[in-house]
Amino acid sequence: MLRSLGVRSLFLVATFASSVLAFSQVPSSPTDSKAQVPSGSPTAFVYVSSTQGGNAYEVNGFSVASTGQLTAISGSPFAANVQNMALNGKFLFGTNGIDIDSFSIASNGALTQVSTINAQGFNQDGCGGPEAVFLDRTGASLYDPDYLGSTCANNAYQSFSINATTGAIDYLGSAIASPAFNSPLAFNADDTYGYSSSCYRSAATIYGYQRNNDQMLTQASIKPTIPSAPAGEYYCPYLAASDSANHVAIPLTPLSVNTWAPAGPVQIAVYTSGTSGNLITTSTAANMPTTAITSATDVRISPSSKYLAISGTTGVQVFHFNGANPITKLSGLLTTDQIDHVFWDNVGHLYAISTSAGKLFVFTITSTTATQAPGSPYTITSPQNLAVLVK
């Protein structure tokens, strides 16, 4: 069974904590996910993988009206043995932790499987497999953080090329990583470097990979500075998000140096990708605003590069993203349900799923407001991951 990245993020923090905190949930009235929406061309297609129990997965597809209201795509849910997903303009890719499947996307958003490849089969000794899939900015290359991809011990990053006509993917090779590297990379503006971060066994690390002309990844020799935490604490980084102008956001959780327990809410450092992929920052404990998130599960910057959403065990919150300058608060918590994954479209809608609550949320974000779109939230049994195709 595929190892959930959301669960793994909680595990990384829990490694340093003596207990797991439980948070209250605000009840809401579920809305029929097949409700009709106003006529007109959709602004996006939204895909949510879910499970009905065991290893039986499917993909729920929705078209999005300009108001943010959803309607089910004809034929949805689609039979698909995938949990984590990524897509470009023509194809959706998904993995179950062993295989990576390709699906063509019809003009109405319907999915049809066109190819599959056993990604685990390229690993030494048949161990591990892809934890997720992610694309470069052009959508021409597919990658995965490959759990135990080397000698059944270290993680790796597998690289695949994509046939632009058929959607089939071909294995290119693997870049050995470490047990600490296990999340998708956030690529800079020209696709030359991808970044993420980790706090495996209390070793705080921000790392990068160079994307070469042959689409393969090579680990970059960078050692970005992590801001100094307040006395008695240290910052535990996890995940990364990038904008279209070479800026990278890294969530930092303050932990007690004595107990490894969370010492406060997540803060977010901002870096600039420079020469040879190096990351530089002016972020400090004092100029990074605190979030309302205590354990991060996802972070995304909007296509416009104006907004940043961070999700976690306490919900989801939105900030103004200001390039190399510190982020600034736009909203409080938009829900107190645990949010596992978030995604943006390019017309100001933020999508968020809660596995535990069985909900898909849609929020409309402007420069001054953040509100739920009509019909939100939608009921989906055990949603696992989401991907958004902007129109």
3-class secondary structure, 23: coil
| CB distance 78 to 45 below 8 Å | no
Residue 76 sits in a domain whose CATH number is 2.130.10.10
Query: In whole angstroms, what is the distance from residue 326 CA to residue 277 CA?
Result: 21
Nearest to 94 by CA among 107, 84, 109: 84
Edge-first strand order for the sheet with 328-329 is 296-301, 307-312, 315-320, 328-329
Query: In whole angstroms, what is the distance from residue 360 CA to residue 50 CA?
Result: 11
| CB distance 104 to 91 below 8 Å | yes
List all residues 6 or more positions away from 147 whose beta carbon is below 8 Å from its beta carbon.
3, 97, 128, 129, 130, 131, 155, 182
The reported pLDDT for the residue numbered 178 is 85
Query: In whole angstroms, what is the distance from residue 207 CA to residue 135 CA?
Result: 18
Number of structural domains in the chain: 1
List all residues 6 or more positions away from 121 whose beta carbon is below 8 Å from its beta carbon.
none
List all residues 6 or more positions away from 320 whose beta carbon is below 8 Å from its beta carbon.
306, 307, 308, 327, 328, 329, 330, 367
Nearest to 166 by CA among 94, 119, 114: 114
The reported pLDDT for the residue numbered 150 is 80
| CB distance 313 to 294 below 8 Å | yes
Query: In whole angstroms, what is the distance from residue 288 CA to residue 290 CA?
Result: 7
List all residues 6 or more positions away from 120 whose beta carbon is below 8 Å from its beta carbon.
97, 98, 99, 126, 127, 128, 129, 130
Per the structure, the complete domain to which residue 59 belongs is given by 5-390
One-letter amino acid identity for 178?
Answer: S
Cis check: omega of the bond before 77, within 30 degrees of 0: yes
Cis check: omega of the bond before 377, within 30 degrees of 0: yes
Token readout for 244 is 């279209």
Nearest to 153 by CA among 131, 174, 183, 123: 123
Nearest to 256 by CA among 202, 310, 314: 202
Q: What is the mean pLDDT of each run of 10 residues along the chain (391 residues)?
A: 41 34 28 39 97 87 98 97 96 97 98 98 90 97 93 91 98 89 95 96 93 96 96 96 97 94 96 95 97 97 98 98 98 98 97 98 98 98 97 86
Query: In whole angstroms, what is the distance from residue 325 CA to residue 315 CA?
Result: 25
Entry pTM: 0.90
Q: Which residue has the tokens 């972070």?
A: 299
Q: Which residue has the tokens 């997903």?
A: 85
Query: In whole angstroms, what is the distance from residue 256 CA to residue 9 CA?
Result: 18
Nearest to 278 by CA among 390, 188, 373, 368: 188
| Burial call 187-224: b when 16+ CB within 10 Å, e when fewer | bbeeebbbbbbbbbeeebbbbbbbbeeebbbeebebeb
